[in-house]
């Protein structure tokens, strides 16, 4: 699939915008990310710039603030943003719940939430997983009992990213118990300032405070905040999951990381007094990763071509999720190896994490042991372990492929 003259003109327009609007501070935030989440302030600053241009939510319908772009243009925008080092936006609002609101929301819900998601006035977190319900999400048990025009919530959610920053949560709750566990689940929009909500931060292995456990004790939520129908929230959740698993160009980010790693390896010592890039073992593994990133881009182009023709990639989305996350983990392993002893030093002050780092006092004068990339390598490695779990674990994706493709 090649780019048409119109596509190339659009690519040049995007590049000009990125060159003009991406400040050194924003590029630094993108470059020093330690997970899929950018520094919160940088992410919101970039969202305001994109919103002013009308590009904050290009995949939304035009009438709600989206762009009248072709699928190819969406891919080009995602790819060029990645190559330019733009910080990422939080996906919870713009890329996820907004689509559910557009698809299932009442006119009043659309009028209230969609403009405020675009401006950042409303910032969502996701309340899905529970301490005993992770991959088997349909087994969730957090209760929501109806009391007049309100639902009363009791229970907890866990692994809730940015619950400390969010002022709203989209949440799955149990409103009815039946033999079929997918039935009786309701999709609910919850004001995080409501009485009875307690957020308890969870410190990750990287030392960052991004995820949380959220406790609900007799929290009252208006029935008007139900998205879709009561007891039919599973349909809304499945609809939203389509947007969680797709819509972005993954391969360019991996290509950039692998190319940068190759450049770093030329300056790192390897066996026998040579540079690390001259070590056959390391260079062959890095070359394989770079080849796989190029293959992944071809597969993304094929999926895009299918969509552009009005088709459905189907199981290919599961394949792309597996390949992308496992390749990202592979590259992070190579980066940690290349960082050498400097990669064992805990230096979060030299990075731009997606949340605060607790129990850490930066050294005086921001002393740095090694280079920036060596400080990022161990933190990104630790965060990246979750890549094969989120948005449906890779084991589940393989089960989907086994059933849909192999007929097992």
How many degrees, rounded to 5, is the angle at CA 282 between CA 279 and CA 287?
A: 115
Model confidence band, residue 308 (pLDDT cutoffs 50, 70, 90): low
Q: Does position 11 have pLDDT exceeding 70, yes or no? A: yes
Q: Does position 1 have pLDDT exceeding 70, yes or no? A: no
Query: What is the per-residue pLDDT for 184?
Result: 94
Check for a shared fold between 5-89 and 124-232.
no
Query: What is the per-residue pLDDT for 111?
Result: 96
DSSP β-bridge partners for residue 219 = 153
Question: Taking residues 105-130, what's their average pLDDT?
Answer: 96
Q: Are the beta carbons of 188 and 221 closer than 8 angstroms?
A: yes
Query: What is the per-residue pLDDT for 205?
Result: 80
Query: What is the per-residue pLDDT for 375?
Result: 93
DSSP β-bridge partners for residue 216 = 155, 197
Q: Give the residue with greater pLDDT, 205 vs 282.
A: 282
Distance CA 153, CA 150 (A): 10
Q: 68 to each of 7, 86, 313, how far by Cα in Å?
A: 14, 22, 22
Question: Taking residues 228-249, what's their average pLDDT?
Answer: 77
Find the range with the poorest average confidence among 8-22, 60-74, 187-201. 60-74
Query: What is the per-residue pLDDT for 328?
Result: 95
- Of the CATH numbers 1.20.1440.230, 3.40.50.720, 1.20.1600.10, 2.40.110.10, which one belongs to the domain with range 124-232? 2.40.110.10
User: By C-alpha distance, which of 355, 18, 361 is closest to 162?
Assistant: 355
Query: What is the per-residue pLDDT for 194?
Result: 97
User: pTM for this one?
Assistant: 0.85
Q: Does position 3 have pLDDT exceeding 70, yes or no? A: yes
Question: Taking residues 313-332, what's their average pLDDT?
Answer: 90
Q: Does position 246 have pLDDT exceeding 50, yes or no? A: no
Kind of pairing between the strands at 211-222 and 143-147? unpaired
Q: Does position 17 have pLDDT exceeding 80, yes or no? A: yes
pLDDT digits (tens, 9 = 90+) for 131-155: 988 767 888 999 999 999 999 999 9
Q: 163 to each of 174, 201, 278, how far by Cα in Å?
A: 20, 8, 46
Secondary structure class of 129 (helix, strand, coil): coil
Question: Taking residues 10-24, what's their average pLDDT?
Answer: 97
Q: Give the residue with greater pLDDT, 360 vs 13.
A: 13
Query: What is the per-residue pLDDT for 238?
Result: 82
Domain extent listing, the chain: 5-89, 124-232, 250-404
Question: Taking residues 236-244, what's their average pLDDT?
Answer: 75
Q: Does position 198 have pLDDT exceeding 60, yes or no? A: yes
Q: Does position 260 have pLDDT exceeding 50, yes or no? A: yes
Q: Does position 268 have pLDDT exceeding 60, yes or no? A: yes
Q: Compute the mean pLDDT over every residue in the chain, rounded to the nearest whole number.
A: 91
Distance CA 309, CA 371 (A): 46
Q: What's the fold here for domain 5-89?
A: Butyryl-Coa Dehydrogenase, subunit A; domain 1 (1.10.540)
Question: Taking residues 154-158, what's their average pLDDT?
Answer: 96
Q: Does position 391 have pLDDT exceeding 80, yes or no? A: no
Output the CATH code of domain 250-404: 1.20.140.10
Distance CA 137, CA 315 (A): 20
Q: Above pLDDT 70, what percent of the chain?
A: 97
Residues annotated as part of the active site: 244
Query: What is the per-residue pLDDT for 165?
Result: 94
Query: What is the per-residue pLDDT for 67?
Result: 92
Query: What is the per-residue pLDDT for 36?
Result: 84
């Amino acid at each position: 699939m090649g780019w048409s003259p119109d596509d190339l003109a659009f690519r040049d327009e995007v590049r000009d915008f990125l060159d003009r609007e991406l400040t050194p501070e924003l590029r630094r935030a993108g470059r020093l990310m330690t997970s899929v989440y950018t520094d919160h302030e940088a992410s919101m600053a970039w969202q305001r710039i994109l919103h002013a241009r009308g590009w904050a939510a290009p995949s939304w319908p035009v009438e709600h603030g989206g762009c009248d772009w072709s699928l190819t243009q969406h891919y080009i925008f995602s790819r060029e943003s990645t190559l330019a080092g733009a910080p990422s936006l939080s996906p919870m609002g713009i890329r996820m719940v907004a689509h559910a609101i557009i698809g299932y929301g009442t006119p009043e819900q659309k009028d209230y939430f969609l403009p405020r998601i675009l401006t950042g006035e409303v910032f969502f977190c996701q309340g899905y997983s529970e301490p005993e319900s992770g991959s088997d999400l349909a087994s969730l048990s957090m209760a929501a009992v109806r009391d007049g025009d309100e639902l009363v919530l009791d229970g907890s959610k866990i692994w809730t990213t940015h619950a400390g920053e969010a002022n709203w949560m989209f949440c799955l709750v149990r409103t009815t118990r039946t033999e079929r566990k997918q039935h009786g689940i309701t999709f609910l929009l919850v004001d995080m300032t409501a009485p009875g909500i307690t957020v308890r931060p969870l410190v990750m292995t990287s030392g960052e405070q991004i995820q949380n456990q959220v406790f609900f004790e007799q929290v009252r939520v208006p029935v008007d905040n139900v998205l879709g129908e009561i007891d039919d929230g599973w349909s809304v959740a499945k609809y939203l999951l389509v947007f969680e698993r797709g819509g972005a160009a993954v391969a360019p980010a991996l290509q950039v990381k692998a190319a940068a790693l190759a450049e770093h390896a030329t300056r790192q010592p390897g066996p026998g007094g040579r540079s690390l890039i001259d070590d056959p073992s390391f260079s062959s593994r890095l070359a394989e990763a770079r080849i796989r990133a190029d293959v992944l881009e071809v597969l993304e182009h094929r999926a895009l071509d299918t969509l552009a023709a009005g088709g459905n990639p189907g199981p290919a989305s599961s394949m792309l999720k597996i390949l992308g996350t496992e390749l990202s983990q592979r590259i992070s392993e190579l980066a940690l190896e290349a960082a050498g002893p400097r990669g064992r030093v805990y230096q979060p002050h030299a990075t731009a994490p997606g949340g605060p780092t607790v129990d850490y006092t930066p050294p005086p004068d921001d002393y740095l042991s090694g280079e920036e990339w060596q400080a990022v390598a161990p933190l990104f490695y630790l965060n990246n372990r979750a890549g094969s779990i989120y948005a449906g674990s890779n084991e589940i994706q393989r089960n989907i492929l086994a059933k849909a493709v192999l007929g097992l």
